Structure 1
Amino acid sequence: MSFRRGVVRQSKFRHVFAQAWKSEHCIDDVRVSRVTWDGPLCAVNPKFIAVIIEAGGGGSFLVIPSGRIDQSCPTVCGHAAPVLDIQWSPHDDNIIASASEDCTVKVWQIPDAGLTSPMTEALVTLEGHSKRVGILAWHPSALNILLTAGCDNLMCVWNVGTGELVYQLDDAHPDLIYSVSWNKDGSAVCTVCKDKALRVIDPRRGAVLKVREKVHDGTRPMRAVFLSDGKILTTGFSRMSERQLALWDTKDLSEPMAVQEMDTSNGVLHPYYDPDTNMVYLCGKGDCTIRYFEVTDESPYVHFLSLYSSKEPQRGAGFLSKRGVDVNKCEIARFYKLHERKVEPISMTVPRKSDLFQGDLYPDTAGLEPALLADEWIAGQDAAPLLISLSGGYSAPPSKHRDTLRGKPKVPPQDSGAMSAPLSAPTPTPTSATRDMDEDVPQPRTTARETDGNAEKPKREEDLLNELLAEMKALRAVVLAQSQRIELLERQLARIEDGDV
């Protein structure tokens, strides 16, 4: 019975579809790194795409503003050994951290226009690990706080602004750390380790708050990510080597809230979490697929939405922050899939036809402004990220319906600001019926003075604006009516499936 309910479950994300960009928009000639470290190898923000690449004699990564590149493109190449992880700062799109096999972490400042020559000098070098460093995690709301984890089983918390090591956890993990994730306000982190345990840790006190042994029974690596409501989603393998995801309530880790098994592929599933939509995307290295799920408060809690499949496997992937998606196309997420020699963008889109900003798809999201300074967080304060609206990046496209109007002039460019006027304009607007009638009525002859361009222009523009506003209002009413009709039919279908009718 629960399965039948799932078929008609109410969700605006049920029909999200993924589409790869055309080849001319892909980035070619990128020699993606072949390191055996199981990381994403890519980091993306609204300004730049960073990719760890093959390099002789040291560690390098590319930073690409946009467009095609060739092998002579300058790189960031200050590490003495291969780079294992890169992460952009959530509070400055020009700041990126890199972790390397040379046991150091470096923080770089990328010019707005990108690199014009190889960059070898970092803003700061963080030295505190005795073995290679493979994990980076910026604090979500405190400026300049960076967590690192290495193959020495250490977790370090740094104040990047001063280069100071502020906390070090050297006894929390008996073996290799697989992944680290901050919670929403940065008061705790969750980790998974080679000993198969999930831990919730307060890094400031150096205390392990919660432990769950054997989150997944398999021996292959696991991943974990904190959700915005405090739950934790993990990926791993069963005893029979089937790939799994599990949802855990941090208040009670004795049993998972949900477990789903998927397939028997070998690639570790990397979870990419979008707190705005509460969706999780699973992307495995060596896979040809990206699965996506919605996490809700209703059983079975983790709802499979769909699967994107392509012919070529991915070497890694970058997940674009919400500030960079195209709100004009109802794009809610974007991946940058790494091929052997190419970076291919893949957009996740909700199919809607409307000239209006889709506010329900784009709740306020984390902005660049930090909620806390580093010293405030170190002193014990916590705060969720400061949110911004994405509506400022929206511009209404010209309606297809308007383009078909007979003999109607296009909106003059200088009138674009007026389009933001409220739809309920006080000036009465003609309906489509009266417009058609008016077109059949002979118009009175005008004098030369009346047809003077400078005198008539404001009046024509005002009439045109009123006409466009009326059509937008009518289209919005049609969309609302259709949405209500769809919801009614879905409720009726749900009742039939449940046997209530």
Structure 2
Amino acid sequence: MVSSLSSEVCEQRLDEHLLRMSWHPQYRSSKFRHVFGKPASKENCYDSVPITHSVHDNHFCAVNPHFIAVVTECAGGGAFLVIPLHQTGKLDPHYPKVCGHRGNVLDIKWNPFDDFEIASCSEDTMIKIWDIPKQLLSRNLTACRKELVGHSRRVGLVEWHPTAANILFSAGYDYKVMVWNLDTKESVIKSPVKTIDCHQDVILSMSFNTNGSLLATTCKDRKIRVLDPRAGSVLQEASYKGHRASKVLFLGNLKKLLSTGTSRWNNRQMALWDQDDLSVPLTEEDLDGSSGVLFPFYDTDTNMLYVVGKGDGNIRYYEVSADKPYLNYLTEYRSYHPQKGIGECGVPRPLGALRDRDEADLSPTLGTSAGGLTF
């Protein structure tokens, strides 16, 4: 009897031992777990760039396959620089500027359908459309192609429609989003084709979905709104009190929104939302207690998300999936230099292929220099 009992105990212990040996932790496999940031070498950076001192929370930098544009500090009005990508090194102090605004330039965006056309908006309530010559600028460019007049207060944001050519959206401190059709002969356009007047405070960010059928905005009232840009109506509005959003971004074709902002405890936070239901976020993640605004960038080809903080020296990146846990932290790029602004490079990739360690190209502006950062 005792022998039988001890035999059963030994068998039970053996089973437990084998179970412990067979168990192993389950790690999520990701083909991007070894992605790392590679900064451009000094000779491939842009030095002595007089970057704006404006405290407006925006990118201050825009990049396309030919040029990098940087909002600059200057006296007597607003201006920005347009530098060919290949023209790296120390910038001439007298390098020609694109100037014509009477107030500080607050935002610049390249036309996705024309690499030689850029829109700018300013504290002077004006929006200007500029044609950039293919050859190098030899003197200051002061004559714009079109001037858009409609906002009653400063204009903080401009955004091109992603699928309709020559359609531009602007957001002003008058709480209005205006839609402009640039396919007109007039050099001065005084009437937008539509005015969206549903916000109760200053609009902080705008983002289109892939086909341009939806427009997401964040406002100083900390609410996220999803709009029908054609009808100008509000389709969804976030009333969740636990997340105060400052920036919002559509995540490609995932039918999801990502917002960055602060929690009710004033920690920097990002939240993921279903674009059809903004009642409660799908997930939230607190990052740290810093105060700089977080700018999200999304690479639709790789489903990778990059989160850049103004004044930070690091860039966090995640892999986004359609299923839980949705946001999978990979790692972060660290630098000793804080970012002043950042732009995403739209250099096209070969179809179905990625260049070596080139999941995304970002161009941070750091103090008085700008340089590329490749992942």
TM-score (norm 1): 0.66
Describe the SS at the equivalent of 1:13. coil
Q: CA 1:160/1:179 → structure 2, altered by over 3 Å: closer, same or farther?
A: same
CA contact (8 A) 1:196 1:213 kept: no
C-alpha distance in 1 between matches for 2:74 and 2:275: 42
CA contact (8 A) 1:28 1:70 kept: no
Equivalent position to 2:107, from 82, 85, 102: 85
Partner of 2:323: 298
After alignment, is 66-75 or 139-148 more displaced? 66-75
Partner of 1:254: 279
How far residue 332 of structure 1 moved from its aligned partner, in angstroms, is: 1.7
Partner of 1:333: 360
How far residue 196 of structure 1 moved from its aligned partner, in angstroms, is: 1.5
Partner of 1:202: 228
Equivalent position to 1:118, from 123, 140, 147: 140
C-alpha distance in 2 between matches for 1:90 and 1:10: 35
After alignment, is 308-317 or 9-18 more displaced? 9-18
1:176-195 deviation line (CA, Å, top 9, x unaligned): 11111011111110111111
1:75-121 deviation line (CA, Å, top 9, x unaligned): 10011111000000111111110010000110111111232211001
1:140-159 deviation line (CA, Å, top 9, x unaligned): 11100111001110000111
1:217-366 correspondence to structure 2 within 5 Å = 217-218=243-244, 222-228=246-252, 229-323=254-348, 328-348=355-375
Partner of 1:192: 218
Partner of 2:4: none
Counterpart check, 1:61 vs 2:73: no
C-alpha distance in 1 between matches for 2:183 and 2:296: 29
Describe the SS at the equivalent of 1:24. helix
How far residue 330 of structure 1 moved from its aligned partner, in angstroms, is: 3.7
C-alpha distance in 2 between matches for 1:265 and 1:280: 20
CA contact (8 A) 1:137 1:148 kept: yes
In structure 2, stretches of 5+ residues that fail to align are 1-24
| Identity fraction in percent | 44
Number of matched pairs: 341
Partner of 1:441: none
Partner of 2:200: 174
How far residue 298 of structure 1 moved from its aligned partner, in angstroms, is: 2.2
C-alpha distance in 2 between matches for 1:216 and 1:19: 36
C-alpha distance in 1 between matches for 2:136 and 2:260: 36
Equivalent position to 1:147, from 154, 161, 169: 169
How far residue 253 of structure 1 moved from its aligned partner, in angstroms, is: 1.9
Q: CA 1:101/1:209 → structure 2, altered by over 3 Å: closer, same or farther?
A: same
1:7-26 correspondence to structure 2 within 5 Å = 8-26=27-45
Q: CA 1:296/1:313 → structure 2, altered by over 3 Å: closer, same or farther?
A: same
Q: What's the RMSD between the two structures over aligned residues? A: 1.8
Equivalent position amino acid for 2:342 in 1: A
CA contact (8 A) 2:239 2:279 kept: no
Q: CA 1:17/1:196 → structure 2, altered by over 3 Å: closer, same or farther?
A: same
C-alpha distance in 2 between matches for 1:328 and 1:272: 19
Partner of 1:439: none
Q: CA 1:11/1:217 → structure 2, altered by over 3 Å: closer, same or farther?
A: closer
C-alpha distance in 2 between matches for 1:222 and 1:81: 24
1:299-448 correspondence to structure 2 within 5 Å = 299-323=324-348, 328-348=355-375
CA contact (8 A) 1:63 1:114 kept: no
C-alpha distance in 1 between matches for 2:29 and 2:347: 23
Equivalent position amino acid for 2:363 in 1: Y
How far residue 274 of structure 1 moved from its aligned partner, in angstroms, is: 1.4
Partner of 2:57: 38
How far residue 67 of structure 1 moved from its aligned partner, in angstroms, is: 1.7
CA contact (8 A) 2:360 2:374 kept: yes
Equivalent position amino acid for 2:205 in 1: S
CA contact (8 A) 1:83 1:98 kept: yes
CA contact (8 A) 2:69 2:80 kept: yes
Counterpart check, 1:183 vs 2:209: yes
Q: CA 1:215/1:177 → structure 2, altered by over 3 Å: closer, same or farther?
A: farther
Describe the SS at the equivalent of 2:348. helix
Equivalent position amino acid for 1:320 in 2: C
1:371-404 deviation line (CA, Å, top 9, x unaligned): xxxxxxxxxxxxxxxxxxxxxxxxxxxxxxxxxx
C-alpha distance in 2 between matches for 1:322 and 1:304: 25
How far residue 215 of structure 1 moved from its aligned partner, in angstroms, is: 6.0
Equivalent position amino acid for 2:231 in 1: R
C-alpha distance in 1 between matches for 2:177 and 2:114: 23
CA contact (8 A) 1:267 1:286 kept: yes
CA contact (8 A) 1:198 1:215 kept: no
Describe the SS at the equivalent of 1:332. coil
Partner of 1:477: none
How far residue 122 of structure 1 moved from its aligned partner, in angstroms, is: 0.6
Equivalent position amino acid for 2:131 in 1: Q
More helix by share: 1
After alignment, is 22-31 or 8-17 more displaced? 8-17
Equivalent position amino acid for 2:361 in 1: R
Counterpart check, 1:159 vs 2:181: yes
Equivalent position to 2:70, from 30, 42, 51: 51
How far residue 327 of structure 1 moved from its aligned partner, in angstroms, is: 5.0
CA contact (8 A) 1:41 1:84 kept: yes
Larger Rg: 1
